[in-house]
A and B are shown apart, each in its own frame.
Chain A
Amino acid sequence: MNLSRRDLLKLGGAALAGASVAPAGARAQTPKRGGTLSIRTWDPPHFDPFGTISYKTHIALSFTHSRLLKHKAGPSVVPGTFSIEGDLAESWTQPNETTYVFKLRKGVRWHAKPPVNGRELTADDVVFSVNHFLTVKGNANAYMLKSVDKVEAVDKSTVKFTLKEPFVWFLDMLANPHAVAIVAREVVEKYGDLKKWESVIGTGPWMLDSYRPNVSLAYVRNPNYFLPGLPYIDRVEMTVDEDNASRMAAFLSGKYDLGWEFPGTINRVDWVQIKDTLKQKRPKLQTVEFVAPVMSHISMRTDQKPFSDVRVRQAMALAIDRKAIIEAVFEGVGAMNPAVPAALREWSIPFDKLGEGARYYKHDPAEAKRLLAAAGYPNGFPGTMCFTTYGSTILVDSMQLVQKDLKVVGIDVKIDQKEYGAYIATCFYGKFDSMTYGPQTGFLEPDNFLFGQYYPEELKNQSHINDPVVADMLVRQRRTFDPAKRREIIYDIQRHLAKHQYYVQMPSGVYVAVWEGAVKNYGPNMGYDYGGRLMAAWLER
């Protein structure tokens, strides 16, 4: 099935309906304390939130650490939407375009572990954490708060941020689970960095009780959590399970309460195989489908020939048979992506509004050949494509289809396969000669997809784009506080980019989020914030 924009909207509706039916009942029930939730996880490389971009670490810390803000979670939240609410911040104001003042909740206490031993959190802790985030060497996420000029504690429970320039996504950055986990100065001073599991001390709903490398993590309820009565679940057990067959067997036999893949989903290829068996064995399972934010694209040296010619890029876009890719690698269920992935439903432009550029998302090899001939390449041209597998067969399959499609119109692509580390150090940051093919991080807001990839000289501007029209719009959207007006600018950016095809976007798959019916008041969504989504859930076993 190839999802149109309309189908997608229906899917979102279904997702919402699916999510709201069970929880509507759940809302009528009284939340129940206790029980153990069991999840499959990944072994974190370490536990320092400022030392890695690894989802393995950030998922593990989503249970134990608070942020200033967080994304609203729960069954009423439509997957792919991310409204913001306070986490440690009780409220906030914005006196002017570059100043934000946060009032912290009173009586927030650190986990009852040394060296903090449950002392009260203060504004100084927030200031320390933000400064540490911005200055510690090797924090690849530091760019998220690049706009911050200074952060200061006004009093014990007030924090003031001053930005260098207006940045409307500032609150989204603070709410993002990749961003600042609030940590205590004493813990950093005691442990140096925060890599050891013993240093996992936050103010979050659960406390890390034990960590067995490559085996498991266990969390216990934080009895002093600042939201009274929460969390409901006493214990969360996370099993490191590196083998898909083992994970599938464990899920079939009822061991895991959430789907075993990120973020609580089951890969469609596995889902298709086991869904009938699951209906018999686990009839209470709940499911919701939503488009994945992970999108691969072809990036190319648009500052050099032949890719500097827009007709060449348009020809490449027309050469790709996206429907065939959806059929072949996503079991027939996927969504087409403009520059902002369809998964970000509030910001991704519907294809029927994309205008002239929409035609380049259709498969038309004859037109592609015509454009190549017009650009002076009647017989196509050879090129290399930098690539790493990420250990994903889906990615390898789609890359091979891309290679085949380009070959059909005369672009003879030689794959330059690199080892993961080498790929990230070079091609991911635009250091390649011809083309690169690979996925982008599944961000939760459009700015990361747009500014980082299209603004001149940005680290992730893989295609070496220097388009003043785009640059101007990118800056303008960052300064437009009215969401409706900002959306219009972001739509305009996507229209412009569709015509220019600086990157050739590939379709995304559709997640199948699955969870045990006994887990009440839970709603799946994208992102690393497992802890946030489970904080108000309870178990009705």
Chain B
Amino acid sequence: MLRRYLAKRLLVAIPSLVIASLIVFTLPRLIPGDVVVLMLAEKAYAKDLEELRAKLGLDRPLPVQYVEWLGRVARGDLGESLWTKRPVLEEIGQRLPLTVELALLGLTFALMIAVPVGVISAARQDTVQDYLARSAAILGLSVPGFWLATLLIVLPAIWWGWRPVSGFVEFSRDAIGHVTQLLLPALILGIATGAALMRLTRGMLLEVLRQDYVRTAWAKGLTERVIVMKHGLRNAIIPVVTLLGTQLPQIIGGTVIIETVFGLPGMSRFLFDAILQRDYPVIQGVNLVVVSVVVLVNLAVDALYAVLDPRIRY
């Protein structure tokens, strides 16, 4: 049944991806500025503008360019960067692992913050711990990541002369150094998501803890730990998992700033540079990869429901 459901969902995902591809293709062209002008700007030989535009295939109508691009995408070819002349897929392939690593670590931090704090906050509703946790969550939601990152970089340097690792360390060179340098950026990435998840965990758990079966569990004399963790949390966690799926684009969006601030050569920073340089194939390629990842993760989240809640059948 699950397999049939997934197949159906995959089929539904195809039109979504096609629509997304249209948006992904069109939006970069709406950014003011012209890649051809940018490429020739410092060379000051404007007569070559049209020649270069033709060479890059940018002189043809947009719909034609779109259809051609889509055809190539279907064959697994995302084109080549207008600036580096290297295949976009290859460029993404080099940078994607770091961004995924950062996003996963960010999600891990988010969960590590959200679930325990949410549970304590719900189990100790209207106590000092609850108020503190809720205030912290609002703070976490309100503080922009780039500002927090700046503070966490500059203040320790001023106070203690400590600084985060700058200059990217590859895993193959120094595994511990590699993971260490990702901890702070991942924590900053995870804070806002963690705050949102914590508020939802608390809310859902409070609702579950007021259910009749929980009252019965109390009457049976079960310990608080068993009631909250086994009977409460498991039922409260499904919406949290849903939210986790929808938070992924936010986390990936966050990596654009975080990778720039911490000097991490990931896919998001590559996208940022590509936007500045109007490198259309790269912008399109990266966004298409992100959209595909989001669609697939949401699919995985749907599949996870059945694991978390045996009542759900596909």
Enumerate chain A interface residues (CB-CB to B < 8 A): 45, 52-54, 137-140, 212-216, 237, 239-243, 245-246, 248-250, 252-255, 274, 277, 281, 419-422, 424-425, 429, 459
Contacts and interface: CB of A to CB of B under 8 A. Distances in A.
A246 B261 contact: yes
B8 to A, nearest CB: 42
Interface string B154-172: 1011100111101110000
Contacts of A255: 163, 166
Given A249-B157, A252-B158, A274-B158, A424 B41 contact: yes
Interface residues of B, number: 36
A446 B94 CA distance: 46
Contacts of A419: 32-33, 38
Contacts of B149: 245
Given A249-B154, A252-B158, A425 B41 contact: yes
Interface of B: 32-34, 37-46, 83, 149-150, 153-154, 156-158, 161-164, 166-168, 260-263, 265, 269-270, 273
A248 B32 contact: no
B33 A214 contact: no
B153 A52 contact: no
A213 B164 contact: no
Nearest to B266: A214
Given A214-B270, A242-B263, A420-B33, 15 more contacts: A52-B42, A214-B265, A215-B263, A237-B167, A239-B166, A243-B260, A243-B263, A245-B150, A249-B153, A249-B164, A249-B166, A253-B157, A253-B162, A281-B161, A419-B32
Given A245-B149, A246-B261, A250-B166, A422 B45 contact: no
9 contacts: A241-B166, A243-B261, A243-B262, A246-B163, A249-B154, A249-B163, A250-B166, A419-B38, A420-B33
Contacts of A239: 166-167, 263
A248 B151 CA distance: 11
For B38, B149, B166, which residue has the most chain A Cβ atoms within 10 angstroms?
B166
A255 B164 CA distance: 11
Nearest to B38: A421
Nearest to A277: B158
Contacts of B168: 212, 215-216
Nearest to B257: A243
A252 B38 CA distance: 36
Contacts of B39: 421
B205 to A, nearest CB: 38
B153 A424 contact: no
A423 to B, nearest CB: 8
A421 B263 contact: no
Nearest to A53: B42
Q: Which 5 residue pairs across A and B have the least CB separation, nearest first?
A: A421-B38, A249-B157, A419-B33, A245-B150, A253-B163
Contacts of A140: 42-44
B173 to A, nearest CB: 11
Contacts of B163: 246, 249-250, 252-253, 255
Contact of B157 (A213, A215, A248): A248
Given A215-B265, A241-B166, A425-B41, A248 B161 contact: no
